[in-house]
Amino acid sequence: MAGSRGLRNQRLIRPLSHSPSSWHVFFFTFACSVSSLLLLFWDYHGQLHSFLSPSLKMWKDKMLRNDAAPVSVELDMNSNCKIYQDVHRLLHYPEESKIAIYFNKERNCAQPQLIGRLSGRALTTITWETSYYNIPDDDEEEEEAEETEVSNLVPATETHHDNNINETKDVLLGHYRVPQSGTYFLEIIAIMCEDLQYDAEFTGTCLVDPNQHRLTQDGVFINAMMTPPPPSTQHDTSNIIGYWWHHDGGVELNETLIPLYTRYQPQGCRSDSTLYHCSLASDLTRFDNYQFKFSTAQYDDDQLSTILEGKIDKICIEGASHARMLRGHMAAVLANLNSRGVHVAELDFANETRFASDFDEAKINFIIAKNCSKVIVTTGQWDAGWPNDRPTLFPEYEQILNKTIPLMLKMFTAANIQVYHVSTHYNPIGDIIGSCPPKDWRSPRVIDMYNTIEKRVCDEYGMPWIDTNDIMGIMWDRAADWCHYDDVSSDMEAKYILGRTFTP
């Protein structure tokens, strides 16, 4: 038994290699570890040099010398992280494309909400399971260095009456899928200490201080293997829309793997964003190396042009500032595609739709009078944002959509207008989202719940809900003004929406 589990458990060393680069390259190492900051030297020509050994190459050679990939690899944790004391160990299971977090039963944060991002040849996210596992007793008694295989873990819900199960750890599993095998930088951050329930009164719920939210140590890299996508069925929407790829496609070959740390706005940086710690945390160039490629050709320029050819349509994108942003980018995309017959209507500031509840009969009639053939509805930003000094709570949001979605469907359909709802964007951790208590609630967990509700209500009434999170969510921290994606993300979102709304 124990022999079959003779795992080569390896402590991952931290390669943070640097090579002279002509691009604007920054390494971002947040204040989780002051000592690590000493390893970073800012060069005013726009490069941040890092001197850490051993190099990635040495590490790769070491990996290659192994006969087989290790079953599990221990990953270093950041001792300054808010939940560091809560976590016993962090493991990567390369062959299963899984990350396991062994939480202590006794902990401060009962159910930390995590965001994991891999960056290398492409960007990908870690999908966390919602329930924990326990470790079977016989495994626990083994040496510390030996580790439980993922397949031996037992769902925590099944262990209540089983005395053989050692319940000293709660194991959380996260899954990822990379589009190409290779070395990836891994960052896991904890954004909330507890789960956010549907009936939660979360107005006072603070995010984990972003200065202390990173669980992984600086420069943790993993070797990730490509796994085939899950079998897809007809109308399957589980397949990812596409990936943000590193522009030179092979950072690994070149040994300039640039860690993509989560961007945020530390407190006090609104008034002086030029302070060193402000610009380090909020610099935007970290995203420059990635460009989005759709998984299917349907959304590429040639095919979009073909799909739009001969169409005469006027598209109304309804909402507030995020709708205006999308409208601008869609207009640019259409111009670039030389579309003659398809236009996006101007958004009239005085009559924009801010709260979801604003989509009442008068507003819908007002939109109908614009003579659009397609209406794209966006909601959620004002509801979860600062304007009311409180967020629209989840049941209330659902009650509102329960009224407005069927009403829109009925009225727009009667006017021969196709209507679609687009998913709500996350906002990065700007100062008012990251303050405690928050003054704005558009953080990923809240928006995830809004999107769950939107999808549920849209499905219920038959309004298409277009989920653009594969495009926007993985780069959620990119919005330059901490809210709006006035960058290439919105171009990609516009293309995807065009493809979805013009494909039968």
Ligand X SMILES: *[C@@H]1O[C@H](CO)[C@@H](O)[C@H](O)[C@H]1NC(C)=O
Site residues, ligand X (CB under 6 A): 19, 137, 140-141, 166, 168, 254-255, 350-351, 362-363, 366, 370-371, 395, 398-399, 402, 460
Tell me the closest approach of the beta carbon of residue 458 to ligand X, in angstroms.
Answer: 12
Q: Degrees (nearest 5) of the Cα angle 206, 207, 208?
A: 120
Is residue 353 within 8 A of residue 320, CB to CB? The reply is yes
Evaluated on CA atoms 427, 429, 433, 438, the torsion sign reads positive
Of 301 and 396, which has the nearer Cβ to ligand X?
A: 396
Of 137 and 486, which has the nearer Cβ to ligand X?
A: 137
Of 69 and 200, which has the nearer Cβ to ligand X?
A: 200
Of 12 and 25, which has the nearer Cβ to ligand X?
A: 25
Of 255 and 486, which has the nearer Cβ to ligand X?
A: 255
Q: Report the SS3 class of residue 357.
A: helix
Tell me the closest approach of the beta carbon of residue 461 to ligand X, in angstroms.
Answer: 9
413, containing H or E segment: helix 394-414
Of 387 and 395, which has the nearer Cβ to ligand X?
A: 395
Tell me the closest approach of the beta carbon of residue 233 to ligand X, in angstroms.
Answer: 26
Of 38 and 369, which has the nearer Cβ to ligand X?
A: 369
Is residue 175 within 8 A of residue 427, CB to CB? The reply is no
Token pair recorded at residue 444: 């990923």
Of 101 and 433, which has the nearer Cβ to ligand X?
A: 101
Comparing C-alpha atoms, which of 23, 6, 389, 433 is closest to residue 207? 433
Is residue 447 within 8 A of residue 425, CB to CB? The reply is yes
Q: Degrees (nearest 5) of the Cα angle 380, 354, 499?
A: 60
Of 23 and 502, which has the nearer Cβ to ligand X?
A: 23
Of 88 and 277, which has the nearer Cβ to ligand X?
A: 88
- Position 416: which residue type? N
Strand 290-294 and strand 242-246: pairing?
antiparallel
- End-to-end alpha carbon distance in the chain: 56
Tell me the closest approach of the beta carbon of residue 379 to ligand X, in angstroms.
Answer: 15
Tell me the closest approach of the beta carbon of residue 254 to ligand X, in angstroms.
Answer: 4
Is residue 76 within 8 A of residue 220, CB to CB? The reply is yes
Comparing C-alpha atoms, which of 282, 264, 262, 285 is closest to residue 273? 282
DSSP 270: T
Distance CA 265, CA 273 (A): 9
- Say how many C-beta atoms besides its own lie within 10 A of residue 238's C-beta: 9
Tell me the closest approach of the beta carbon of residue 396 to ligand X, in angstroms.
Answer: 8
Query: Which letter, b or e, does each residue of 32-56 get, where b requires 16 or more Cβ atoms within 10 Å of its Cβ?
Result: bbeebeebbeeeeeebbebebeebb
Tell me the closest approach of the beta carbon of residue 150 to ligand X, in angstroms.
Answer: 19
Is residue 214 within 8 A of residue 262, CB to CB? The reply is yes
CA 18 to each of CA 49, 52, 106, 252, 337: distance values in angstroms, whole numbers, following the listed order: 7, 8, 40, 12, 40
Of 145 and 275, which has the nearer Cβ to ligand X?
A: 145
Token pair recorded at residue 418: 């196709």
Residue 66 burial by Cβ neighbours in a 10 Å radius (0-12, 13-18, 19+): exposed
Of 80 and 402, which has the nearer Cβ to ligand X?
A: 402
Tell me the closest approach of the beta carbon of residue 137 to ligand X, in angstroms.
Answer: 6
- Prior bond of 15 cis (ω within 30°): no
